[in-house]
Amino acid sequence: MSTELQKPIIGFSCGDLNGIGTELIIKTLADSRILDFCTPVVFASNKSINFYRKSSTAANFAFTVIKDLSKPNIKQVNVYNCWEEEITITPGQLNETGGKYAFKSLKASVEALQNNHIQGLITAPIHKKNIQSEEFNYSGHTPYLKATFGVNDVVMLMVASNMRVGLVTEHVSVAEVANLITAEAIVSKLQIINSSLVKDFGIDKPKIAVLGLNPHAGDEGLIGKEEETIIKPAIKEAKNKDILAFGPFSADAFFARGQHEKFDAVLAMYHDQGLIPFKSLAKGEGVNYTAGLPVVRTSPDHGTAFDIAGKGIADEASFIAATFECIDIIKRRGFYEDNRKNPLRRISARVFANVVDERIEE
């Protein structure tokens, strides 16, 4: 394996400046052992880093400022200044500044990803309201990245050591969910999850569970028709595409009985149906991964946590998990691609038989 693949350059967007993102970055990267696994590049400003370093328990955090993304210091944490102006940071407050500079960081880090200056990106939490602008008119990171990289569909895939949960719908109101549940949407999500499990997680022939939309998965049409008219036909179509999809399962009984442990991933119909059990069972180390992109992006499974911002008490467990999951997925993708380089030329069974006959006759 190449040196670059062994030690990728990983970018970090700072998220909302008034949230816990910068504190988590400092705590995660303060352990110098992280440099054995990647070369970190933080997209923020040295002044904002120093502001939070003062209140962090990782006060000895060291970094170097770089101006050229093509020449990071592989022996130290790098900070790329996305802005030079003085700004007022007010931890715990929801204001325009927090959203404005969160987007400056995100935009710069995504451009670095597009230009191959970094091999992966960990995004710190943004606030979905104050980041809204003419340039960012999305419900979160996932649809923004989908649009930026020009892909038809992606999956918000929540990842932990004991489970993976994907969503058909993401940040939409409950009133809209049923109208967005279509066979086409379900099959698309299953295809992306299946491909990701193979390429990004190294799982051959993954098994995917599909949850129902209604209580008790509709009770055979008694409590809603979506399972019978949409979800079951979608599962059948997915199986015709060689995807091992099963269900639909009743969401409450499925997780309560530990059935998620029997599958490589679970496809939930909407946000809370999937994320409430995930966050309850992932034990604080969950990771949000955007499956379906040509690049690798992860994030912690929580938000800006304004209530504890600036107090130095934020738990970095999920952020550390997101960092190592990003590194691991990059490596697994590399293995997958390396194993499929220069494959043997495929020939038909008839041609193969003729070749064997000729060898025997000789």
Q: Do domains 1-151+293-362 and 153-292 have the same CATH topology?
A: yes
Q: Which positions ≥6 away from 318 have C-beta within 8 Å?
A: 284, 285, 286, 287, 300, 301, 302
- Give me the pLDDT at residue 224, please: 87
The CATH code that applies to domain 153-292 is 3.40.718.10
- Give me the pLDDT at residue 58, please: 76
Q: Residue 6 carries which DSSP code?
A: H
What architecture is domain 1-151+293-362? Answer: 3-Layer(aba) Sandwich (3.40)
Nearest-angstrom CA–CA distance, 38 and 120: 10
Nearest-angstrom CA–CA distance, 272 and 277: 8
Nearest-angstrom CA–CA distance, 340 and 354: 27
- Give me the pLDDT at residue 357, please: 57
Q: Alpha carbon of 125 to those of 56, 141, 288: distances in Å?
A: 18, 9, 11
| Sequence letter at residue 303 | G
The pLDDT averaged over each successive group of 10 residues in the chain (362 residues) is 67 97 96 95 96 83 94 95 95 96 97 97 96 94 96 97 95 95 98 98 96 89 91 98 97 93 97 95 89 97 94 94 97 88 56 56 52
- Give me the pLDDT at residue 115, please: 96
Nearest-angstrom CA–CA distance, 57 and 53: 8
Cβ neighbourhood burial of 96 (10 Å; 0-12, 13-18, 19+): exposed
Sequence spans of domains, the chain: 1-151+293-362, 153-292
Q: Residue 223 carries which DSSP code?
A: T
Among candidate residues 218, 273, 265, 220, the one with its CA nearest the CA of residue 246: 265
- Give me the pLDDT at residue 202, please: 95
- Give me the pLDDT at residue 2, please: 43
- Give me the pLDDT at residue 219, please: 82
